[in-house]
Structure 1
Amino acid sequence: MFKNTFQSGFLSILYSIGSKPLQIWDKKVRNGHIKRITDNDIQSLVLEVEGTNVSTTYITCPADPKKTLGIKLPFLVMIIKNLKKYFTFEVQVLDDKNVRRRFRASNYQSTTRVKPFICTMPMRLDDGWNQIQFNLSDFTRRAYGTNYIETLRVQIHANCRIRRVYFSDRLYSEDELPAEFKLYLPVQNKAKVSTNNVHASCHVGL
């Protein structure tokens, strides 16, 4: 999808305030819902993905299963609200051995497991809104000893609320972020957005 697009800085694939936030996504729902609601903490529209079973309610990008994202930017950043329920997401990447690898992070797993085509790992979320930062290049190297080439697919499962999902060429401080990439909390709300580095809370024992 983005293979022939000039990629630098930021590349957003989901923004909950947009006119069609799921324009390039497909959704699957069984015993749950995927809908846009107003979040009380940030007083703004967000996408809620909820289901009784995390594996059967999710959004996936790109929408066409035959297509791939082709995003070369190595950092995946997701602004997600912790709903204090089971939550998981998955990223499929291509490495320099031309092998498709999947990384799956979940808040209900306690150990990291590396298998030839999938690496599953624990993820710790703080209360409220979290900024999840995922260094795909670092993970590919540490888990498989290969080099990250591009991201093929992103899949976000129940249960969470989503503000934005984007890729970047590096990690940016709050001051460096463009205004539309920041999560503004109302002044009267003293809650802060917690930044969670996936590789900091998930030690890949390699």
Structure 2
Amino acid sequence: KNNLFRAIKMTEVGGEEKKDFDSQSISWQEDQPLKNYVQKFKTYYEKPKAVASSNRKFDSDIVRNVYRRFRLGYIVLFDIDKSRFFRKWNLEVNKGVIAKVEDLELKETVLLLEGNKRNTSCATITRNIGLRDKVTSEYYFLCMLVRNSMQYFELKVLLADLHGIVRTFRIRNYATVATVQSRECLVPLRMKKGWNRLCINLNQLCKDAYNTNYRQLLQLSVHNNCRLAYVLMLRDGIETKSFPPRYRTKKNM
């Protein structure tokens, strides 16, 4: 450091002697140009750098949330290719298998949930939706790309309605009749063989079952006997140009 400041002092011309300058138990009594350089270094490189980094992180979060909410029109809840979305899910395995596999039809990595063909509790992934996820009443279309294995499959949706009452919707492909209870509703699901792009209107489900509106998604569980590529929450249920090619509807789905 002394050599550095000595070299800088030699390059500067003129100046007056000033008071001592102390920094981390090191003191100098230098001329004006050198002291100006040290002061400039401390004020413009150390302090603003820390402030700028925190502001940049804060501003980027705001910009990303605003852009995602008002421009993109979708929120990603699950994507096997993006680890930050996959880490938020809880895995429960009971005599089942949860693994990443390469799908030959999609030619990309998907999540495999395998278990007993008549038991949907062998392998389950669950995500609790928090306030930071911003899954509010604007996003009420649950969209996912799932492969039908021609076995029992179940999707559990936990949400809050407009009055703050928690409702549970169990969507099953082996159910034939819809049943409505005080806080739980069973919904039949029809799926074709192979990959299916499901788009479920949660607001319409609340209206049909309980004559109220959807407010917020609280929890989502996907059970075994399927392959899962992604899970989204859409604002309008309509694809836009801002959608990545991975999230767009394929021709054969």
**Shorter-chain TM-score tier:** 0.7 to 0.9
Whose helix proportion is higher, 1 or 2? 2
The answer as to 2:92 corresponding to 1:28 is yes
1:175, distance to aligned residue in structure 2 (A) = 6.6
What is the root-mean-square deviation in Å for CA atoms of aligned residues? 2.1
TM-score by length of 1: 0.80
Distance 2:228 2:177 in 1: 25
Report 1 or 2 for greater relative contact order, CA contacts < 8 Å, sequence distance ≥ 6. 1
The answer as to 2:108 corresponding to 1:44 is yes
Give matches, 1:145-160, under 5 Å. Answer: 145-160=211-226
The residue that corresponds to 2:252 in the other structure is: 192
1:16, distance to aligned residue in structure 2 (A) = 1.9
Q: What SS does the corresponding residue of 1:81 show, helix, strand or coil?
A: strand
The residue that corresponds to 1:203 in the other structure is: none
1:179, distance to aligned residue in structure 2 (A) = 1.9
1:71, distance to aligned residue in structure 2 (A) = 1.2
Q: Contact 1:70 / 1:152 at 8 angstroms: preserved in 2?
A: no
Give matches, 1:57-206, under 5 Å. Answer: 57-62=123-128, 71-72=135-136, 73-173=139-239, 177-182=243-248, 192-193=252-253
Q: What is the aligned counterpart of 1:54 among 115, 120, 126? A: 120
Q: What SS does the corresponding residue of 1:91 show, helix, strand or coil?
A: strand
Q: Contact 1:70 / 1:151 at 8 angstroms: preserved in 2?
A: no
1:115, distance to aligned residue in structure 2 (A) = 0.6
TM-score by length of 2: 0.66
* Number of equivalent positions: 180
Unpaired segments of 5 or more residues in structure 1? 185-190, 194-206
In the superposition, relative to structure 1, how do residues 33 and 27 fare at CA in structure 2: closer, same or farther (>3 Å)? Answer: same
Distance 1:183 1:47 in 2: 19
1:177, distance to aligned residue in structure 2 (A) = 3.6
Per-residue deviation, residues 71-97 of structure 1 (Å, max 9, x unmatched): 111100010001111100011110111
Unpaired segments of 5 or more residues in structure 2? 1-64
Q: What SS does the corresponding residue of 1:143 show, helix, strand or coil?
A: helix
Distance 1:20 1:43 in 2: 22
Distance 2:112 2:232 in 1: 17
1:20, distance to aligned residue in structure 2 (A) = 5.3
1:21, distance to aligned residue in structure 2 (A) = 5.1
Distance 2:247 2:227 in 1: 16
Identity value in percent: 27
